[in-house]
Chain A
Amino acid sequence: MNLLKSLAIMLGREPTKPAESEFTEGARACHDCKRANKRSSEERAEIVHQMHEAHNVHTWRNRRWVALVLVNLLFVLSYRFDVQLVEGALTASRVIGFHMADLNSALQVMLAFKTILINLVIGTSTVLAMWWLLGGRTFCSWVCPYHLLAEWAEALHLKLAARRIISDHPLDRRLRSVLWLAFAGLSFASGYTVFEFISPTGILSRALTYGPGLSLGVVAVLLAIETFYSRRMWCRYICPIGITYGVVGAVSPLRVVFRPEGCHHEGACRKVCLVPHVLDCTKKGYAPDLKVPIGADCTRCGLCVDTCPTGSLRFEIKGLDKLLSLDERSR
């Protein structure tokens, strides 16, 4: 049930407050307690202080940027210096000899070509297993080179928006699902990998390794739209790669988990999040349990973990958490 809900929200359904029956005893008690205890002015000052401190934490963002740059650098250096660690591009590669294929690119090829070769099956299964373990859309924020550029464009967008020079123009999130279907259908019907023609992920990955070309114009146009018109438009409302990996990571053991007990419900996490609908549970009185795993659309970027002043949002590995649960309680 929760899985279906998390998938539905990823595909575009707006999150709603859970029904009364969905709350656990513990969660109900937690929410009741918070409602009963109004904060004093000192507490509020403390919260503001904590938020200010948390604002300067960039631990996960920095780790992620290092990882993203390293992964993409590996592709480039492997070719430039012929070390053959990671050959190819993000669409398909060979990592120390093992085939890897981007799930969305592989899907396009299978639909367009209508023949599935064993190498592609091997490459796709390897990547499927890897991203299931690592969290699906983790690909987006930890590997995709466009994500990094989009983050910088987003920072610019937010600066301009704060000065009221521009404003954000959100689109309907269901658009991404429609486009996923449309591109899958177009590949199948036309026999061409239609999406690859505008995929900034593939374009950037190839440009990094094989040298820049005119196709980078696609990336420039997208960044311009995201900077001046619609915040993170590509990743939020358009890119089918996100959905493909989101489905893979829907039941991933690596995830971000929300614990409502210490949360002030200030909403700082939702402001930095690429996909704020997955953080609906952080609203006051919305968490149905004392531990809520964040939904399938989460890219595990860690911005919310960095931003959270109370440690209510954390990375967790399912199972490993149970082993360490005694330790968690004692904190």
Chain B
Amino acid sequence: MSRSVEARRKFLRSVLFGGATIGAAMAGWLPVARAHTPRLRPPGALAESQFLAACIKCGQCVQVCPVKAIDLGDIDSGFGMGVPHITARTQACDFSCDALQCILACPTGALSHHPNKKEEVAMGVARLDKPDSCLARQGKGFHGAARGTNFKGIHRYAEIDRWKPVAIASHPYDLPLCDLCVRECPIKDAIALEPLTADPADPRRTPVVKDACVGCGMCEMICPADPTAIVVDAGRNGSAA
């Protein structure tokens, strides 16, 4: 093979592999552009597009979370790979840390320091997604482990141990009327049970989400209905920042 032919091939190879590298990297845009339902981000997260830019993908927030609520995105998250999110149904943020440890751990300000306390967080907002499966709306109580005995999620019960979260499965309830979403909400006045009808004899109640809701997802995790009656819609991020 002559030298010029080899040189030309080398050049073409370089263009090909260079293009492929750029192409592969830009493929990370597709999942971001197609994400219709945004993920729940940790407390303090900036608005989604800024958040993906500012996050350095180091996972320090994952390491400090006392309830291990934070996971990092995999390759299917595109540019969100290595970026933290919370799957509330599996393990919600219950503000066990008090001082917003993930925010303090973030080296780039992707988790903004603006919230000084949990009440100022704006991760999302809770919504009664399946009213028909809500036990309170049926006037029903709840007995046993909120999410079954095999559920791995943990939660800090102030009445058990102020500092150590325990398995929800190890903490059975005995409630004449299910009020778990209200009972375990870490934010004051964020959710309340209100009468379903004007009839005072009607035991049925409905959870009503108030303005104070920060979208931590605790109600979504604890809801004993399957699938959950109440969900958190992510995406209020940035509004408080």
A residues adjacent to B (C-beta < 8 A):
79, 87-89, 91-94, 99, 101-102, 105-106, 109, 112-115, 117, 119-120, 123, 169-172, 174-175, 178-179, 182-183, 186, 190-198, 202-203, 206, 209-210, 213-215, 217-218, 230, 233, 237-238
A99 with B107: CB separation less than 8 A: yes
The verdict on A202 contacting B82 (CB below 8 Å), with A94-B60, A178-B18, A192-B29 known, is: yes
Residues of A within 8 A of B13 (CB): 169, 171, 230
- Cβ of B56 and Cβ of A194 under 8 Å apart? no
Most buried by B among A109, A197, A218: A197
Report the Cα distance A315→B218, complex, angstroms: 57
Q: Which residue of B lies closest to A221 (CB)?
A: B24
**Which of B10, B28, B78, B107 meets A101, CB within 8 Å?**
B107
B1-48 CB contacts (< 8 Å) to partner A: 10-11, 13-14, 17-18, 21-22, 24-29, 32
Q: Which 5 A-B pairs have the closest CB atoms?
A: A197-B28, A92-B58, A112-B53, A172-B14, A215-B75
The reply to whether the CB of B108 lies closer than 8 angstroms to some CB of chain A is yes
| Bound CA span A109–B51, Å | 10
Would you call A193 and B63 a contact (CB within 8 A)? no
Collect the chain A residues with CB atoms within 8 Å of residue B114's CB: none
| A120 to B, closest residue via Cβ | B108
Q: How far is the CB of A213 from chain B (nearest CB, A)?
A: 4
Question: Which residues of chain B have C-beta atoms less than 8 A from A190's C-beta?
Answer: 29
Judging by beta carbons under 8 Å apart, are B26 and A218 in contact?
Answer: no
CA distance A230 to B21 in the complex (A): 14
A217 to B108, CA, bound (A): 27
Known contacts A115-B109, A178-B18; A194/B25 CB under 8 A:
yes
Of B26, B32, B56, the contact of A92 (CB 8 Å cutoff): B56
Give the residues in chain A near B64, CB-CB below 8 Å.
87
Tell whether B95 is near chain A: CB-to-CB under 8 Å. Answer: no
- Which of chain A's residues has its CB closest to B28's CB? A197
| Whole-angstrom distance between the Cβ of A327 and the nearest chain B Cβ | 44
Contact call B63/A79, Cβ cutoff below 8 A: yes
Cα(A102)–Cα(B108), bound, Å:
12
B72: interface (CB < 8 Å): yes
Which residues of chain A are near B108, meaning CB under 8 Å?
92, 101, 109, 113, 117, 119-120
The answer to whether the Cβ of B225 comes within 8 Å of any Cβ in the partner chain is no
The distance from the CB of A145 to the nearest CB of chain B, in whole angstroms, is 15
Q: In the complex, what residues of A have CB within 8 A of residue B149's CB? A: none
Taken together as a complex, chains A and B put the C-alpha atoms of A285 and B59 apart, in Å, by 51
What residues of B have a CB within 8 angstroms of the CB of A92 in the complex? 56-58, 60, 107-108
Question: Do the beta carbons of A93 and B58 come within 8 Å of each other?
Answer: yes
- Across the two chains, which residue of chain A brings its CB closest to B31? A197
Q: Smallest Cβ distance from A120 to chain B, in angstroms?
A: 5
Q: Is the CB of A214 within 8 A of B14?
A: no
Residues in chain A near residue B25, CB distance under 8 A: 183, 186, 194-195, 197-198
Is B62 located at the chain interface by the 8 A CB criterion? Answer: yes
- From the candidates A91, A113, A117, A123, name the one contacting B53 in the complex (CB within 8 A): A113
6 contacts between A and B (CB under 8 A): A113-B110, A117-B109, A170-B10, A171-B17, A179-B18, A198-B28
Taking a contact as CB atoms under 8 Å apart, the answer to whether B72 and A91 are in contact is no
Would A238 and B17 be within 8 Å (CB), given that A91-B82, A170-B10 are in contact? yes
Q: Is the CB of B14 within 8 A of A191?
A: no
Measured between alpha carbons, how far is A209 from B58 in the docked complex, in Å?
10
Select A214's contact among B29, B60, B76, beta carbons within 8 Å.
Answer: B76
A215/B74 in contact, CB under 8 A: yes
Q: B53 and A101: CB pair below 8 A? A: no
B134 at interface (Cβ–Cβ under 8 A)?
no
- Contact of A113 with B50 at beta-carbon distance under 8 Å, contacts A99-B107, A215-B81 already known: yes
Is there contact, CB below 8 Å, between A175 and B79?
Answer: no
Given A101-B107, A179-B22, A215-B75, decide whether A196 and B63 contact each other with a Cβ distance below 8 A: no
Q: A120 near B79 (CB under 8 angstroms)? A: no
- The answer on a CB contact under 8 Å between A192 and B10 is no
Q: CB-nearest residue of chain B relative to A79? A: B63
Shortest B126–chain A CB gap in Å is: 28
Task: Name the interface residues of B97-117: CB closer than 8 Å to any CB of A.
Answer: 105-110
Q: Least Cβ distance of A238 to chain B in Å?
A: 6
Minimal beta-carbon separation of A3 from chain B (angstroms): 26
If the complex has contacts A93-B60, A196-B57, A214-B76, are A186 and B50 also in contact, measured as CB distance less than 8 A?
no
B106 / chain A contacts, CB cutoff of 8 Å = 119
**A171/B14 in contact, CB under 8 A:** yes
Q: Contact check, B52 vs A192: say whether CB atoms are below 8 A apart.
A: yes
Interface membership of B150, Cβ < 8 A: no
CB within 8 Å for A209 and B59 given contacts A190-B29, A197-B28: yes
Chain A residues with CB under 8 A of B82: 89, 91, 196, 202-203, 206
User: What residues on B are CB-neighbors of A237 within 8 Å?
Assistant: 14, 17
Nearest CB of chain B from residue A169's CB, rounded to whole Å? 6
Could you say which residues of chain A place their CB within 8 Å of the CB of B109?
A: 115, 117, 119-120
| Bound-state Cα–Cα, A196 to B50, Å | 15
CB distance from B75 to the nearest CB of A (A): 4
Contacts of A106 in B (CB 8 A): 56
Chain A, Cβ-Cβ closest to B24: A198
**Which residues from chain B contact A210 at a C-beta distance below 8 Å?**
59, 62, 72
